[in-house]
Amino acid sequence: MAAMILTRLPGVSTDYPENRNIANSYAAFPLIGVLVAACAAIPAMALSLANIPDLAVVAVMLAVAALITGGLHEDGLADVADSLGGSDPAKRLLIMRDSRIGAFGVLALILVLVIQIACLADLLAEGMTTLMGGWLACAILSRAMMALQAWAFPPPDNSGFAHSVGRPDMRVMLISMGGGFVLALMLSGSLAIFIAAGCAAVATYGFGYLMNRHIGGVNGDGLGATQMISASIILMVMAAA
């Protein structure tokens, strides 16, 4: 179910199973992070061995990750940014559900992707092992933050992705957060994970609070934006360590 929600991989069902608590799938979100990051890392390693410039290598890695997820998180970030033009919660939700992208959305995507590319290129300059550690940690923890966000704040209404999936209970949230932290620590081998996870958790809760004021809760777009924002913070911490 986690793969169905977070990826567009061939062969993965797109129909929610009946009589299943879909919200339990949040516990497996960090594992999907491992899958996405590992698949995106394969062409990056090949390009790096071919002496392709670092910026191009990490840009391709981000592009492959977006292809695997169907641009799900990027779309959420852009929609949230575009909603800043709305005068009230109802209009903001209407803007988020518009498939078109506006100036705020374009700017948000450009700025966040520039941050991620710059941090990943810095990690690659220190070696492929360092890049892979930071990249895997970012993919894992940022998806665990989606579970924290969904547990902490309700959806704004009774429609959309966040409502259809449901809210994880505390047990599921702790499994996602705890399991994601252990995985990130093991795969990165860096103690900076402690700082990265803490900073991302604070940012996640802060963003959720702002979304609650903005539209009355955190919807699917807000969860996608949570992943992009927390991923950027994690990468900045890892690059600075």
Q: Which two tokens stand for residue 99?
A: 């498939």
Q: Alpha-carbon distance 154 to 165, whole Å?
A: 12
What pLDDT is recorded for position 130? 96
- What does each of the 241 residues of the chain score in pLDDT, given as a tens digit? 999 999 998 877 667 666 678 899 999 999 999 999 999 999 999 999 999 999 999 999 999 999 999 999 999 999 999 999 898 999 999 999 988 999 999 999 999 999 999 999 999 999 999 999 999 999 999 999 999 999 999 999 888 788 888 899 999 999 999 999 999 999 999 999 999 999 999 999 999 999 999 999 999 999 999 999 999 999 999 999 8
What pLDDT is recorded for position 159? 81
CB 217 within 8 A of CB 154: yes
pTM, full prediction: 0.94
Please identify which residue in the block is written with the tokens 């902490």.
Answer: 152
Residues whose CB falls within 8 Å of the CB of residue 95, separated by 6 or more in sequence, listed in order: 79, 82, 83, 85, 86, 102
What pLDDT is recorded for position 216? 94
What pLDDT is recorded for position 158? 86
What pLDDT is recorded for position 163? 82
Task: Supply the DSSP string of 129-141, one letter for each residue.
Answer: HHHHHHHHHHHHH
Q: Alpha-carbon distance 138 to 112, whole Å?
A: 14
Q: How far is CA 94 from CA 48, 84, 104, 154, in A?
A: 43, 12, 15, 18
Q: Which two tokens stand for residue 30?
A: 């960090």
What pLDDT is recorded for position 17? 67
CB 43 within 8 A of CB 65: no
Dihedral sign, Cα of residue 29, residue 33, residue 35, residue 39: positive
**DSSP state letter for 217:** S
